[in-house]
Amino acid sequence: MIQITRVASYSAALLAALLITGGAVAEDDGVVAEDDGAVANNDVITTDTHRLQKVADGVYLAQSTARIFNSNALIIINESDVTVIDSHITPTKARGLIASIKQLTSNPITTLINSHFHYDHSHGNQAFGPDVQIIGHEYTRMKMAGKPLEEGTFMRGKAGNIARLTRLQQELDTTEDAERREEIAAQAKVLAAHVEAWNEIDPVAPSVTLNDRLTLFRGSREIQLHFMGRAHTGGDLVVYLPADKLAFTGDMMLQGPSWLGDGYVDEWVQTLENLKGLDFTLMVPGHGSPFTDRKVIDYVQAYYEDLWDQVAKMHKDGTSVADAAKAVDLTSHTNLRITRVGTDPLAVARIYQRLEGAD
């Protein structure tokens, strides 16, 4: 069933989802993507599982309506087929996405692009079936064809869900208020189904890879895939629609700092400089709302530069990861609404690894 509604913003729902899950992959430091109003009043189609926000002609941002941490997907409807970017977190979530696409168009999905290897963007791949070509960077293929279920991001995500479910069940056991019990039970039911859905995950790696650049010509639409350099992972892709001046930036460019545990903070600033070479007016990130303000790229670059410099100094002084994570002070980055001193220890640990020569 399709409902056409007008919405003011997704930010509240996103924030709720991030809070529920701890926002482990999207971001840290309490930065929450905020809608700048640029596309907030576009028509939105709501399906049983998704909000589909039109961001260009035939192009929709797809966000799950479930209050569970998940990634954005982009649906690109071409003259005779459909290209999808990112497959969500589980096959169940991907099936919801596929069913939602069927409500938009009868064109077949022929192509799926993975922006990067992280589980929340790629572990729905298997739901697309063998006839859909999956495209990703060589690095993404290497990661996904390796041991993706042993990746730190995946294992922490899985353990985090199970821990949250246990906490909810304990809370239920000790709560007497009937209304509150109902709320907790409903949350636990959604989370339990999600935990169960992870058991079905059987990662499928991209079958087509690129190293630098690839262009798809689909009907009259040109879809450019760019590798701009290492950033959030070793193989982040930007998908650029030149006619629409739209860039899907995945997790290498959110409306604030990204999760840095697999990142290349030392190279990221240059990668974002390269991103600025594309002529776009709208960025669709891997999490959160679309945005138009290119100055946000400058703010994020300044944040990474400052973070790198502070952590490098502490590394040189022999400060432990835990102490450095507590001491890093990025509150001068008021443009990004950083209000707390301290940062994610996994980000610091990763920067220490880079300083010690790890790839």
Enumerate binding residues for Zn ion (CB under 5 A): 118, 251
Tell me the closest approach of the beta carbon of residue 299 to Zn ion, in angstroms: 20
Q: What does the alpha-carbon distance between residue 255 and residue 285 come to, in Å, rounded to a whole number? A: 8
Pick the closer one to Zn ion by CB: 88 or 118.
118
Pick the closer one to Zn ion by CB: 118 or 333.
118
- Identify whether the C-beta of residue 134 lies closer than 8 Å to the C-beta of residue 1: no
Pick the closer one to Zn ion by CB: 188 or 238.
238
Pick the closer one to Zn ion by CB: 251 or 344.
251
Pick the closer one to Zn ion by CB: 56 or 307.
307
Strand ranges across the sheet with 213-218: 213-218, 221-227, 237-241, 246-250, 282-285
Residue 197's nearest CA partner among 253, 147, 157 is 157
Listing DSSP states for 195-242 in one string gives HHHHTT------SEEESSEEEEEETTEEEEEEE-SSSSSTT-EEEEET
Q: What does the alpha-carbon distance between residue 110 and residue 129 come to, in Å, rounded to a whole number? A: 10
What are phi and psi for residue 317, nearest 5 degrees? -80, -5
Q: Is 318 exposed, middle or buried (0-12, 13-18, 19+ CB in 10 A)?
A: exposed
**Which tokens is 49 given?**
């599982």
Q: Which residues have C-beta within 8 Å of that of residue 145, sequence separation ≥ 6?
A: 205
Pick the closer one to Zn ion by CB: 267 or 323.
267
Pick the closer one to Zn ion by CB: 118 or 350.
118
User: Hey, is 319 helix, strand or coil?
Assistant: coil
- Identify whether the C-beta of residue 243 lies closer than 8 Å to the C-beta of residue 216: no
Residue 216's nearest CA partner among 249, 235, 239, 234 is 239
Pick the closer one to Zn ion by CB: 233 or 301.
233
Pick the closer one to Zn ion by CB: 23 or 58.
23
Q: What does the alpha-carbon distance between residue 227 and residue 231 come to, in Å, rounded to a whole number? A: 10
Q: What does the alpha-carbon distance between residue 246 and residue 259 come to, in Å, rounded to a whole number? A: 23
Tell me the closest approach of the beta carbon of residue 198 to Zn ion, in angstroms: 17
User: Hey, is 86 helix, strand or coil?
Assistant: coil
Residue 64's nearest CA partner among 55, 56, 54, 53 is 53
